[in-house]
Structure 1
Amino acid sequence: MSGEMDLKLEALSKYIVTSPSWIRSLALILLLSGCVEIMSILGSQGSFTKPNLFPIAAYLIPAVAALAFTPWLARRFGGKLDFGWSGLTAALGLIISLFVSLSPILLFRFSFALFFAISLALVFAFRMLLLAAVVDFHLRKVVVPAFLHSGIAILGAAPFLDLWFVQVSILLHISFAVGVYAFIIVVERPMKANFKVGPLELVNAFLLHLSEGSRKLDDFFRSIGESVVVPQVSLVLQREGKEEIFVTIPNVHPGPLGEIGGSNLPKILHNQIGGAALVFHGAASHDFNPVDETEVKKVGDAVLASRPNSCTSSSCTKSGRYRHGSVDVMAQAFGDTVIAVATRSPQVTEDLDFAMGFSIMKSGEKQFRHVGFIDAHNCMDTLADGVYSGTSLGMEYLAAAEDAFSGTAQQEQVPFMAGYAHRTLPWSRTDGFGDLGVQVLVITVGGQKTAYVLFDGNNMHTGARDEIRKRLVSLVDECEIMTTDTHVVNTISGRNQVGLKVPVEAFYPHVEDAVREAIADSAPACSAGATAWCKNVVVFGSQRISQIASTVNAMIGFLVPVAIIIIVGAFITTAMAYFLLVY
């Protein structure tokens, strides 16, 4: 099922690695080199006043030089590498060199030169792969920077070891360079065959996005995307002497993560619409991620073009709750427009597929002209699968929504008041809160106050929604807590929901203040609904996420076997070349 693939792909974000401070890497290099030096002195029964120069020349100096000069060398070849990544590659290179060269001494004391040469070739191969991913996927631009560490180590060790060591080291480096090239060709083949781009190129683009805000990834998604047409229902609330409130429900998905694609869709639409705009989460999965901000603005243009010129309905129903199975729907009608919010809290739920949401919207059109369906997106513990048409859970959603539409259509509509409040929060994206903070819409009708509380975040930690509702009952008669599903909070991990890092006790006072402010802001209102048909919106495309996830999983599956074959081949090639040259 494609939902399972969506889940696997989002879970891959946990493999994204950020570089540590170069100071930590340097400290690790000094510590490891110092330990080797001490063991060398103790092993040779020497004096600490007369250090052994080999560990310094073969381990310490090459690692420090690699840390210091690789960024400069990368720039000389048209790339860019910060000292954090340079320090990480140098420290890992030193660890590889120490482990491979020193561990076998316990069994093969007479073969240190051979294992040291092998370790340097492995360091070279490792640096080629890492720099190809971090700096530039064109190997010709990273070969020289990659050779810096092992090259200096060969020069430093040469006076202590014989000519044989230098010869074998050079042959091993040549064999491993060819091996890395072959490894990359084999590994990249599935991705290039399906998407015309290699994984290293994608990693380059992603790291450029993180460091410089590059849009190269958006170009890739556009190249594989497809054009869709999606409905978007909006509700305009005009108030006497107050700012107009604009409610809109996109049926495209704010993903995939960070600032990539349409991940910041809620804020972009909020700013484009202007004023008191609430951008709720409709029914869409990662297949419906806009490929870039341009496509998000297309959606905004369509919504603004369909904006009603005047509001003619001055009445609405009370909000009501309808339940079928595990699905709970809160619905409220404003003239010929209905707003329905679905949740399964405290049960975990992920995105509803567009086809699922579209079916719900069409079923509501039996009673209403405009059907706004909101996925509350308010209960998450671990990453879960989505909701799809034809599944038992999908049928629960459809049945609960149909009950809500038919029940709401029978309710009396009377004059109402609307109030709005917007609070930014003193936490960042890394804490699970997007740029918009929290927004509150309060509808007062027939003595009933209903609060629509919207967090700019990606889902809520299990129990947070229910705890907030429990606390708000002293202020309002009914409420629902929702998130926009913004993915700007997911730059590294797929799990960063509201309430995970910052407990409800910490941010609830801001919610309560916003609800009180919205109640105080209430004024008599009239409404008008609209359904915009957003055309030619380029999204990732049906099954594209599944295809990417399947391709990545296939690549990961044969990485180790291919690496082993190539390493063995490199050793055999080196041995054959050595004997041909020497004998």
Structure 2
Amino acid sequence: RAKNNECRLVLPDVHPGPFHPIGGSNITYLIYKNLNSSAMVMHSVSDHSLNLPSKSQVDLYLSSLQKSSKTQQGFKCTKPVTVQVNKARTVGMLFDKTAVLILSLSPHGMEDVPSYVKTELEQYGKNRGFERVLIVDSHNAMGEVIQKNDADDLLNAAKSNLDTLITKETLKLEVGYSNSEFLKINADDLGPGKIAVMCMKIGNEKFFLGWADANNMHNGLREHIANYFSKNGYSLLEVCTSDTHYKARQARNKHGYFEFGSLSKFDDAAEWFLQLAKETERNISPASFDLLEQETKVKVMGDKQFDDYSKSLDRAMRITQGFLIGTTIFFFYTLF
């Protein structure tokens, strides 16, 4: 393996939070560092009921990442498919029998994708012969609780995406990855993981996926970055955030935090990502992938405790709810 080109796309069932610096508020960066700073820690279909409430539970979860089991491996995937239904957009790829779907309402925004969307899509995929459907909440535009019509549009776009993926040819995969450590970015609207870019060359086309260790994104930033990429001849699939609840400093605003793009200038952010894309492009190599899964039993906050905790930060918290947490990792590595 060529270690400089390893990349992991991580989809944890835990949700960042509850509040900085408590519990799993910085869990995304801890996963990132645990995986040699070569990971994109995505936001799964989850909410604050799945917060890790203490350091001991965070440590238990992190230790379980070393005990993952390989459930799939391969060398090929489909080219990405993008489906738009009204505000809803889905980007999908098929790795053997595993589909990866990235959901977004950007630039309109939304809060966490409701769990029934995941449940229905997993069943839909199973009925059509997929072994699994992995769903990423891109979390890339600020918004309110998702409305039923928007959730239905996400479902319809995702189902159409799955139907299209079945018909697509699978091709050999090349991968490049770069984190932003060399850029020395100093931005208080980013978590300590900063940003990263992965490039996938499939057939004769290159596709770029951006990631930010951030608590959501300012509306329109994703589109600004995508347009900047397009002007420079690059194809940006999506920019996703980790939804970290880390805070570099206190935010005296209605949200209580700084979303990415609220402090960083749009042009600066777009240029950071483009520089990473160019660096990533230089690192492209023929690649394989492993699908790794792990489960661990940890204690999470649950709905009621998060509601109570939100109302009274100084209230003693009782940890009572046990939960079996799963984590899925796509591990891309270069081949000799």
Q: TM-score range by the shorter chain?
A: 0.7 to 0.9
Number of the residue aligned with 1:182: none
Say if 1:524 and 1:446 are closer, same or farther in 2 by CA, change over 3 A.
same
Say if 1:420 and 1:283 are closer, same or farther in 2 by CA, change over 3 A.
same
Partner-residue secondary structure (3-state), 1:253: coil
Number of the residue aligned with 1:252: 14
Equivalent residue in structure 2 for 1:340, among 101, 112, 120:
101
For 1:454 and 1:316, the matched residues in 2 are separated by: 21
Number of the residue aligned with 2:288: 526
Number of equivalenced pairs: 306
For 2:223 and 2:116, the matched residues in 1 are separated by: 28
Q: Is residue 477 from structure 1 mapped to residue 235 from structure 2 by the alignment?
A: yes
For 2:248 and 2:115, the matched residues in 1 are separated by: 22
How much has 1:492 moved relative to structure 2?
Answer: 3.2
Does the 8 A contact of 2:37 with 2:179 survive in 1? no
For 2:114 and 2:33, the matched residues in 1 are separated by: 26
Number of the residue aligned with 1:502: 264
Q: Is residue 439 from structure 1 mapped to residue 196 from structure 2 by the alignment?
A: yes
Equivalent residue in structure 1 for 2:246, among 488, 493, 517:
488
Number of the residue aligned with 1:454: 211
Equivalent residue in structure 2 for 1:463, among 220, 224, 228:
220
Equivalent residue in structure 2 for 1:363, among 124, 135, 139:
124
For 2:118 and 2:154, the matched residues in 1 are separated by: 9
For 2:285 and 2:166, the matched residues in 1 are separated by: 25
Say if 1:546 and 1:392 are closer, same or farther in 2 by CA, change over 3 A.
farther
Say if 1:268 and 1:477 are closer, same or farther in 2 by CA, change over 3 A.
same
Equivalent residue in structure 2 for 1:286, among 38, 43, 48:
48
Does the 8 A contact of 2:6 with 2:177 survive in 1? no
Q: Which amino acid aligns with 1:257?
A: F
**C-alpha offsets along residues 202-261 of structure 1, whole Å, 9 cap, x if unaligned?**
xxxxxxxxxxxxxxxxxxxxxxxxxxxxxxxxxxxxx66853322111122111222211
Partner-residue secondary structure (3-state), 1:476: coil
Q: Which amino acid aligns with 2:237?
A: C
Number of the residue aligned with 1:318: 79
Q: Which amino acid aligns with 1:277?
A: A
How much has 1:306 moved relative to structure 2?
Answer: 2.4
For 1:298 and 1:257, the matched residues in 2 are separated by: 19
Number of the residue aligned with 2:327: none
Give the fraction of aligned pairs with identical amino acids, expressed as a percent.
Answer: 23
**C-alpha offsets along residues 141-183 of structure 1, whole Å, 9 cap, x if unaligned?**
xxxxxxxxxxxxxxxxxxxxxxxxxxxxxxxxxxxxxxxxxxx
Number of the residue aligned with 2:114: 353
Q: Is residue 422 from structure 1 mapped to residue 166 from structure 2 by the alignment?
A: no
Does the 8 A contact of 1:279 with 1:484 survive in 2? yes
For 1:292 and 1:428, the matched residues in 2 are separated by: 28
Equivalences for residues 15-164 of structure 1 within 5 A: none
Q: More relative contact order in 1 or in 2 (CA 8 Å, sep 6+)?
A: 2
Structure showing the higher helix proportion among its residues: 1
Number of the residue aligned with 1:56: none
Q: Which amino acid aligns with 1:364?
A: G
Does the 8 A contact of 2:77 with 2:171 survive in 1? yes
Does the 8 A contact of 2:5 with 2:176 survive in 1? no
Say if 1:385 and 1:543 are closer, same or farther in 2 by CA, change over 3 A.
farther
For 1:289 and 1:491, the matched residues in 2 are separated by: 21
Say if 1:426 and 1:459 are closer, same or farther in 2 by CA, change over 3 A.
same
Q: Which amino acid aligns with 1:492?
A: Q
Number of the residue aligned with 1:266: 28
For 1:314 and 1:245, the matched residues in 2 are separated by: 15
How much has 1:450 moved relative to structure 2?
Answer: 1.2
RMSD after superposition:
2.5
Does the 8 A contact of 2:70 with 2:293 survive in 1? no
Say if 1:256 and 1:393 are closer, same or farther in 2 by CA, change over 3 A.
same
For 1:251 and 1:261, the matched residues in 2 are separated by: 15
Partner-residue secondary structure (3-state), 1:308: strand
Q: Which ranges of structure 2 fall in alignment gaps of 5 or more residues?
A: 314-336
Equivalences for residues 125-204 of structure 1 within 5 A: none
**C-alpha offsets along residues 46-81 of structure 1, whole Å, 9 cap, x if unaligned?**
xxxxxxxxxxxxxxxxxxxxxxxxxxxxxxxxxxxx
For 1:241 and 1:545, the matched residues in 2 are separated by: 40
Partner-residue secondary structure (3-state), 1:364: helix
For 1:500 and 1:511, the matched residues in 2 are separated by: 17
Say if 1:479 and 1:298 are closer, same or farther in 2 by CA, change over 3 A.
same
Q: Which amino acid aligns with 2:94?
A: A
For 1:293 and 1:365, the matched residues in 2 are separated by: 37
For 1:477 and 1:491, the matched residues in 2 are separated by: 34
Does the 8 A contact of 1:336 with 1:368 survive in 2? yes
Say if 1:355 and 1:304 are closer, same or farther in 2 by CA, change over 3 A.
farther
Say if 1:482 and 1:540 are closer, same or farther in 2 by CA, change over 3 A.
same
- TM-score, reference length from structure 2: 0.82
Number of the residue aligned with 2:331: none
Does the 8 A contact of 2:179 with 2:197 survive in 1? yes
Equivalences for residues 566-581 of structure 1 within 5 A: none
Q: Is residue 541 from structure 1 mapped to residue 295 from structure 2 by the alignment?
A: no
